[in-house]
Amino acid sequence: MPEKNHHVVFAGVGGQGILTASQIVALVAMKEGLDVRKSEVKGLSQRGGSVVSFVKFGPIVYAPLVEAGTADVLVGFEKAEALRWLHYLPPGQGIMIVNDFELPPIPVTLGHATYPPFPEKDLQNQLARLYKVPAKEIAEDLGSSLLMNTVLLGVLSRVLPFPVFRWEEVIGEVFVEPYRERNLQAFHAGRDRAEEFVVTG
Amino acid sequence: MSGEERQFLSGNEALARGAWEAGVVVASAYPGTPSTEVLETLATFPDVKAEWSTNEKVAFEVAYGAAIGGVRALVSMKHVGLNVAADPLFTSAYAGVNAGFVIVVADDPGMHSSQNEQDSRHYARAARIPVLEPADPQEAHDFVLRAFELSEQWDLPVMIRLTTRVAHTRAPVVLGPRRSIAKRPFQKDWRKYVMIPANARRRHILLEEKIARFRETIKGSPWVDVWKKDGPVGVIASGVAARYVQEVAPHFSLLKVNLSWPVPIQVIRSFAASFQKIFVVEEGDPFIETELRAAGLPVHGKEVFPKTGELTPEIVRQGLLGTTLPHLQPMEVPGRPPALCTGCPHTGVFWALSLLKVPVTGDIGCYTLGALPPYQAMHTTIDMGASIPMAWGMEKAGERAVAVIGDSTFFHSGIPGLIDLVYNQGHGTVIILDNRTTGMTGHQGHPGTGQTPQGKGKEIDIEAVVRAIGVDHVWTVDPHDLKATKRAIQQALQTSEPSVVIARRPCALLPEGRALYRENPHRFVEVEKCVGERCFSCLRIGCPAITVREGRAWIDAVLCVGCGVCEQVCPYGAIVHA
């Protein structure tokens, strides 16, 4: 059981399954007997808006929002969104897990703005570790790009202090068949291959 | 932990569960972010009579009637809903209750989904109603039990004020069993419940005396929680603000105010005596701060913390400690502006209005997005039901405007405005966007659908209501039939008597809305036929699936639902389907 509080920030675009992913992490922490808070910032759009979800867990958690500079992990479901919420990570100590996937915002597709370049080298210097995950390809190989979020959870499971059976238990409860089995496969695909996705050099 | 039931609940769900445990029998609400899930959760308990009322005033009166009738009752609403319910609110404090009556109000600092960030606690003070402020889901659960007891003990309505971060945060919540509360008989007592002046004068005096006696009893726990630490600084905070203080400044002494009005002034005064400097941290207005200043306490509040927006740990740290934690710099990233959904029925109406260039008075709902590009076809949005009377006022000022109002909003407070227009012989045109649901708050039923939390109620036909009011010029159109929609609006505008266009098509996110498109093929652009920038008529629909790729229109096949609206506007026949 962790002695300190952990803060995880999930960032992405509405419709990517961010709230399901953060709910799974929160339930895993709760079943481990920890105190948990989960809170979101959502735009007005059901789909296509910027979404950020916070999960904080530990012996005692007071407040719902994560303070800038205190996140242990930022999980970016989309590359530009990971960059938008970078300030939650502290210099030199944070872990970023980013889906190697672009969903251009409307101003970009209409030609009013450009999609930001992903500064991989700079980020490597500013982070303790960077995982760049081809979650879409892995998910599509397993049958559906909708499994992207669970692939990312598999990678996240490598950096959070929870036993694998607890993840399996919660994923098994959150999804009904036939989605249960496919999500467990996606989780393990991310978890088993996590080391491959660490950006080095 | 053994035998103790814990569930991972939002503040709204926890509050609803607490109300159920308190033996609540009747619950009513009009949906409104961030309060909606209170009633949605109460409606899942078969032993609670839960209803979506037509508006917050009605919801208040239904629950209040039930409390006077002798069962515990709860009404919930968002902050601006309390404006609608303010009339019964004030007088209910005079008349008092019979069984417990709790008013839940969820404020939205930062305006995640609201038109203002008013602080509901002012109403509690103005009406002389005690207000409790929970800080997290567990307290939302616990405080509602206390609120019912308080209500019955003092024969008063009791308010619970939530803010977005209490209402929508999820946390483990320890649950208890439902209590069995005996129904109280209704005692006819015209001096208590009939607020004619002679009785109301007496009841007002009794209310002021009651509050004075109540003030004498509120000395310490449970009205405050205190954490004493060494050092010269003390903090007084309420709601989620207290939790930020505990997180960022655990070394400061903290007095957490649970009862925000009347403030437990004796205990605060003795706490404050031990410190050289006292901060007040609260979400919203300087409410507790003002009370403390009036009592002569030299506190620091909103000169340190912002009066606008919601609090964050960063703001609380900066205010209390003057520091910021080191963090990475975020990068400049283009925004993701809100947009109507693909297949949204509203697109057709706003496409037509943007071409007709007529002034449009708007209302509250998803369709407020009609004010944004590419339509820019809504020019006022103030409050629920305002569209029709404001269009009539514009007409009196010499501007012929179109009022646009949603179906649920029409029932909420649109009908009196339409009656006013007809009665006073205005000429105005009203468009009712009938998407068969209360869309923005997540698909609650309303009288026009007949859907209730329990299933099927009585469906009330909008067209029949409109005709019964005396509107003789009524068109019902499918807003995805662009020609018919535009023609109906044009004809309505040429009418010299009140006219109504009902644009009816189910919300694209409802099962019946999705079913309309299930068999539809996706549209795509034949690149060689598209003339690009010279035209881009399709972009005026504002469909999120249609964007630009290499100078030509392009339709995202994943997002496209196949509604076919874009096919109707392309003058070059470039938008096709397989």
Pick among B1, B170, B440, B538 to test the A interface (most A CBs inside 10 A): B170
Question: What's residue A46's pLDDT?
Answer: 61
Question: What's residue B1's pLDDT?
Answer: 45
Q: How far is CA B425 from CA B244, B361, B422, B511, in A?
A: 56, 19, 5, 40
Would you state the structure tokens that stand for residue B173, as one six-digit string?
């919540």
Task: Judge: A107–B335 Cβ closer than 8 Å, yes or no.
Answer: yes
- What are the helix (H) ranges across B412-553? 415-423, 462-469, 482-493, 511-517
| Residue B2 neighbours by CB under 8 Å, 6+ apart | none
CA-nearest residue to B241 within chain A is A63
Q: b/e for B292-321, b at 16 or more Cβ within 10 A? A: beeeebebbbbebbeeeebbbbbbbbbbbe
B246 contact residues in A (CB cutoff 8 A) = 62-63
| Residue A150 neighbours by CB under 8 Å, 6+ apart | A17, A21, A139, A171, A183, A186, A187, A190
Q: How far apart are CA B495 and CA B532, in angstroms?
A: 38
Pick among B252, B317, B333 to test the A interface (most A CBs inside 10 A): B333
B381 contact residues in A (CB cutoff 8 A) = none
B240-261 pLDDT tens trace: 999 999 999 999 999 999 999 9
Question: What's residue A41's pLDDT?
Answer: 77
Q: How far apart are CA B171 and CA A35, in angstroms?
A: 8
Task: Judge: B314–A110 Cβ closer than 8 Å, yes or no.
Answer: no
| Residue B44 neighbours by CB under 8 Å, 6+ apart | none
Instruction: Give the mean pLDDT of A99-114.
Output: 89
Is A1 inside any structural domain?
A: no
A125-177 pLDDT tens trace: 999 999 999 999 999 999 999 999 999 999 999 999 999 999 999 999 999 98
A36 contact residues in B (CB cutoff 8 A) = 8, 170-172
* Interchain CB contact of B329 with A (< 8 Å): yes
> Residue B503 pairs with which residues in a beta bridge?
B433, B477
User: Quick check: helix, strand or coil at residue B311?
Assistant: coil
Instruction: Give the mean pLDDT of B317-338.
Output: 94
Place of tokens 């024969």: B155
Exposed / middle / buried, residue A41 (Cβ in 10 Å: 0-12, 13-18, 19+): middle
Task: Judge: A116–B549 Cβ closer than 8 Å, yes or no.
Answer: no
Question: What's residue A43's pLDDT?
Answer: 61
Q: What's the CA angle centered on A79, arms A75 and A80, to 5 degrees?
A: 115
Q: What number of H helices and E strands is found in chain A?
A: 8, 6
B1-29 pLDDT tens trace: 446 899 999 999 999 999 999 999 999 99
- Read off the pLDDT band of A57 (50, 70, 90): very high
Task: Judge: B336–A27 Cβ closer than 8 Å, yes or no.
Answer: no
CA-nearest residue to A85 within chain B is B330
Whether residue B29 contacts residue B106, with contact meaning beta carbons closer than 8 Å, is answered with no
Q: How far apart are CA B100 and CA B114, in angstroms?
A: 30
Instruction: Give the mean pLDDT of B84-108.
Output: 98
For domain B224-321, which architecture applies?
A: 3-Layer(aba) Sandwich (3.40)
Which of A36, A64, A106 lies at the smallest CB-CB distance from B336? Answer: A106
Q: For residue B284, how many C-alpha atoms fall within 13 Å in the half-sphere facing its CB?
A: 26
Share the mean pLDDT of chain A.
94
Instruction: Give the mean pLDDT of B205-210.
Output: 98
Answer yes or no: same fold for B224-321 and B519-577: no
- Read off the pLDDT band of A95 (50, 70, 90): very high
Which of A45, A67, A86 lies at the smallest CB-CB distance from B314? Answer: A67
CA-nearest residue to B240 within chain A is A63
Strand order in the sheet with B73-78: B49-52, B26-29, B73-78, B101-107, B158-163, B131-132, B259-261
Q: CATH for B346-516, among 3.40.50.1980, 3.90.190.20, 3.30.465.10, 3.40.50.970?
A: 3.40.50.970
Whether residue B124 contacts residue B130, with contact meaning beta carbons closer than 8 Å, is answered with yes
Q: How far is CA B556 from CA B337, B397, B518, B545, B561, in A?
A: 18, 45, 17, 5, 10
* Interchain CB contact of B341 with A (< 8 Å): yes
Greatest Cα pair distance in chain A: 50
Whether residue A45 contacts residue B336, with contact meaning beta carbons closer than 8 Å, is answered with yes
User: Quick check: helix, strand or coil at residue B138?
Assistant: helix
Question: What's residue A49's pLDDT?
Answer: 86
Is A78 inside any structural domain?
A: yes
Which of A38, A69, A106 lies at the smallest CB-CB distance from B339? Answer: A106
CATH of the domain at A70: 3.40.920.10
Q: How far apart are CA B500 and CA B260, in angstroms?
A: 46
User: Quick check: helix, strand or coil at residue A6?
Assistant: strand
Percent of chain B topping pLDDT 70: 99
Q: How far apart are CA B130 and CA B94, in angstroms?
A: 13
User: Quick check: helix, strand or coil at residue B156?
Assistant: coil
Pairwise pLDDT comparison (A41 vs B141), residue with the higher score: B141
Would you state the structure tokens that stand for residue B399, as one six-digit string?
């501007």
Task: Judge: B328–A91 Cβ closer than 8 Å, yes or no.
Answer: yes
Pairwise pLDDT comparison (B165 vs A48), residue with the higher score: B165
Instruction: Give the mean pLDDT of B384-394.
Output: 98
Whether residue B362 contacts residue B379, with contact meaning beta carbons closer than 8 Å, is answered with yes
Question: What's residue A44's pLDDT?
Answer: 62
A196 phi, psi to nearest 5 deg? -60, -30
Whether residue B432 contacts residue B462, with contact meaning beta carbons closer than 8 Å, is answered with yes
Put residue B2 in one of left, alpha, beta given phi > 0 → left and psi -120 to 50 → alpha. Answer: beta
B494-530 pLDDT tens trace: 999 999 999 999 999 999 999 999 889 999 999 999 9
A90 contact residues in B (CB cutoff 8 A) = 325-328
Nearest to B427 by CA among B403, B461, B462: B403
Question: What's residue B230's pLDDT?
Answer: 94
Pick among B168, B311, B336, B381 to test the A interface (most A CBs inside 10 A): B336
Which of B328, B333, B544 lies at the smallest CB-CB distance from A89? Answer: B328
CATH 3.40.50.1000 holds for B6-217: no
Nearest to A70 by CA among A153, A5, A152: A5
B537-553 pLDDT tens trace: 999 999 989 999 999 99
Question: What's residue B325's pLDDT?
Answer: 98
* Interchain CB contact of B325 with A (< 8 Å): yes
Query: A with B: how many residue pairs have Cβ under 8 Å apart?
Result: 151
CA-nearest residue to A96 within chain B is B328
Nearest to A87 by CA among B302, B329, B454, B345: B329
Instruction: Give the mean pLDDT of A11-19.
Output: 92
Task: Judge: B169–A49 Cβ closer than 8 Å, yes or no.
Answer: no
Which CATH fold topology does B519-577 show?
Answer: Alpha-Beta Plaits (3.30.70)
Pick among B12, B33, B225, B327 to test the A interface (most A CBs inside 10 A): B327
B339 contact residues in A (CB cutoff 8 A) = 45, 48, 106
Q: Is the ipTM of this complex over 0.90?
A: yes
Residue B501 neighbours by CB distance under 10 Å: 26
Domain boundaries, chain B: 6-217, 224-321, 346-516, 519-577
Task: Judge: A64–B240 Cβ closer than 8 Å, yes or no.
Answer: yes
* Interchain CB contact of B2 with A (< 8 Å): no
Question: What's residue A47's pLDDT?
Answer: 67
Question: What's residue B555's pLDDT?
Answer: 95
What total of structural domains would you count in chain A? 1
Question: What's residue A201's pLDDT?
Answer: 72
Question: What's residue B42's pLDDT?
Answer: 98
Nearest to B431 by CA among B481, B372, B384, B477: B477
Whether residue A73 contacts residue A94, with contact meaning beta carbons closer than 8 Å, is answered with yes
CA-nearest residue to B135 within chain A is A63
Min mean pLDDT across A106-115, B37-46, B116-125 is at A106-115
Determine how β-strand B575-577 pairs with β-strand B523-525.
Answer: antiparallel
Q: How far apart are CA B481 and CA A167, in angstroms?
A: 49
Which of A23, A49, A94 lies at the smallest CB-CB distance from B338? Answer: A49
- Read off the pLDDT band of A1 (50, 70, 90): low
Q: Give me the domain span that covers residue A144.
A: 6-197
